[in-house]
Amino acid sequence: MQPSSIRVFTDQDFVLEGAKIEEDLSSCSVVLAVKEIPLDFFLPGKIYMFFSHTIKGQRDNMPMLKKMMELGCTLIDYERVVDEKGQRLVFFGTQAGQAGMIDILWSFGHRLKNLGMSTPFEGVRLAHQYGSLVEAKESIKKLGWDIHTLGLDPSLVPMICGFAGYGHASQGAQDIFDLLPFEEISPSDLEDFYKRGNYTSNRVYKVIFKEEHMVKPRTASQKFQLQEYYDHPERYQSIFESYIPFLSIVVNCVYWAPQYPHFVTKEYLRVLWEKEGSPRLKVIGDISCDMEGAMECTLYATNPGEPVYVYDPIEKKALDDIKGRGVVMMATDNLPAELSLESSLFFSDALSPYVPEISMADYSVDFKDCDLPYPIKKAVILYKGKFTPEYEYMKSYMTK
């Protein structure tokens, strides 16, 4: 283990378990990290396992990938550890969703305060400011009780939170939101619900959007087919923006790649702000955090110390802090670190069964003969500096 003063488990905790604490890991044949690794850390021929954030051709990480290729390194990516059904096995999604939702509620309260409105949301702290997830949940429950007993300002009613996506991150975010007194609305009923006015200040509302709610075929006679959308997203167009006028918060948890549509565009936000001046939408929590991706207004990633900025849709630029014209963007890209204890335990439990086989595999043979277990072998992007067959498509990223 490399020494660290900021891990939730101390160096001494690891020493007591028999680990050696050394800055120099050059004696290790396999190195397990979490996120991107500095270029000067890589050594020739070593095996590295971490979240590389390269499979979509993320521009910022191409130099790192190129360096690993030059040194003949092997790259195993946690994001691609999947079972035979394609389900991810090693992930932080649930914790990212939980931390993200806590920070989104904090963002909502502080934005309203900046606009001159005092609300119960002001009592929420950022996720990393709680001692544990249990403590954070108790705080959110108190917020829920205040909403139930005191109600919300009429200008906020109905307070509707839209969840784009339904995977692990979305489930984690809903785990926090559902501590509030809530009612769920289906996407198809959202507009009628809003127009009928049959809602109350003593509860909040949530809508969960799946793919069939967010896109439609470009050909009018065609019906939505999920697998076709995955295989040919260019045949579909986004309709998600039709829901935005009714939402106070958008929580983005969808998987996105460049071939998929933007669900909230810069142009739509420009028109919305020019038309309404101060629309209902106050916060976009981009838990997926793809730069100018599903949420095109995600201009850069934030950090737990400075978790938000305001996207000005008229000037199409980011404004520091939580002040100014536009929508607040919560786009922290290392959310699980805010719930470090829970994230460490969950991730370790998922990863540890594979560690013996990863460390004992014979990497001197051809890739097809390497005896890694199926989920890990699926996650090998580079093998001795060359793309494995499943990731040959990434060669095109290296020339851009």
Domain ranges of the chain: 11-90+341-399, 93-339
- Contacting residues for 290 by C-beta, under 8 A, at least 6 apart: 56, 256, 298
Q: In this predicted model, what pLDDT tens digit does every residue of 151-161 receive, in sequence order?
A: 999 999 999 99
pLDDT for residue 354: 96
Would the CATH topology of 11-90+341-399 be identical to that of 93-339?
A: yes
Which strand (E) or helix (H) includes residue 327? strand 327-330
pLDDT for residue 192: 96
End-to-end CA distance of the chain: 36
pLDDT for residue 93: 86
DSSP state of 96: H
**Across all residues in the chain, what is the average pLDDT?**
95
Q: In this predicted model, what pLDDT tens digit does every residue of 102-129 receive, in sequence order?
A: 999 999 999 999 999 999 999 999 999 9
Q: Is the pLDDT of residue 91 over 90?
A: no
| Cα–Cα distance for residue pair 159/202, rounded to 1 Å | 10
Confidence of residue 259 (pLDDT cuts 50, 70, 90): very high
pLDDT for residue 24: 95
The pairing of strands 283-286 and 249-252 is: parallel
Q: Is the pLDDT of residue 232 over 90?
A: yes
Q: In this predicted model, what pLDDT tens digit does every residue of 362-389 receive, in sequence order?
A: 999 999 999 999 999 999 999 999 999 9
| Cα–Cα distance for residue pair 104/308, rounded to 1 Å | 9
The full DSSP string for 159-216 is -EEEEE--SHHHHHHHHHHTTSSEEEE-GGGHHHHHHHT---TT-EEEEEE-HHHHEE
Give the domain 93-339 fold: Rossmann fold (3.40.50)
Q: In this predicted model, what pLDDT tens digit does every residue of 27-47 receive, in sequence order?
A: 999 999 999 999 999 999 999
| Cα–Cα distance for residue pair 343/336, rounded to 1 Å | 6
Q: Is the Cα torsion angle 54, 56, 61, 67 positive or negative in sign?
A: positive
Q: Is the pLDDT of residue 399 over 80?
A: no
Q: In this predicted model, what pLDDT tens digit does every residue of 277-304 receive, in sequence order?
A: 889 999 999 999 999 999 999 999 999 9
| Cα–Cα distance for residue pair 331/100, rounded to 1 Å | 9
Distance of alpha carbon 328 from the chain centroid: 16
pLDDT for residue 261: 96
**CATH number, span 11-90+341-399:** 3.40.50.720
pLDDT for residue 59: 87
pLDDT for residue 277: 86
Residue 336 CB neighbour total at 10 angstroms: 24
- Contacting residues for 194 by C-beta, under 8 A, at least 6 apart: 158, 160, 246
Q: In this predicted model, what pLDDT tens digit does every residue of 189-225 receive, in sequence order?
A: 999 999 999 899 999 999 999 999 999 999 989 999 9
* Mean pLDDT score, 257-263: 94
| Cα–Cα distance for residue pair 80/87, rounded to 1 Å | 9
Q: Is the pLDDT of residue 321 over 90?
A: no
The fraction of the chain above a pLDDT of 70, given in percent, is 100
Token pair for 227:
């697998």
- pTM, two decimals, is 0.88
| Cα–Cα distance for residue pair 199/309, rounded to 1 Å | 31
Closest CA to 367 of 75, 34, 61: 75
| Cα–Cα distance for residue pair 82/387, rounded to 1 Å | 18
Q: In this predicted model, what pLDDT tens digit does every residue of 177-189 receive, in sequence order?
A: 999 999 999 999 9
Confidence of residue 400 (pLDDT cuts 50, 70, 90): low
Please check whether residue 206 is in contact with residue 184, taking contact to mean a CB–CB distance below 8 angstroms. yes
Confidence of residue 316 (pLDDT cuts 50, 70, 90): very high
* Mean pLDDT score, 252-281: 95
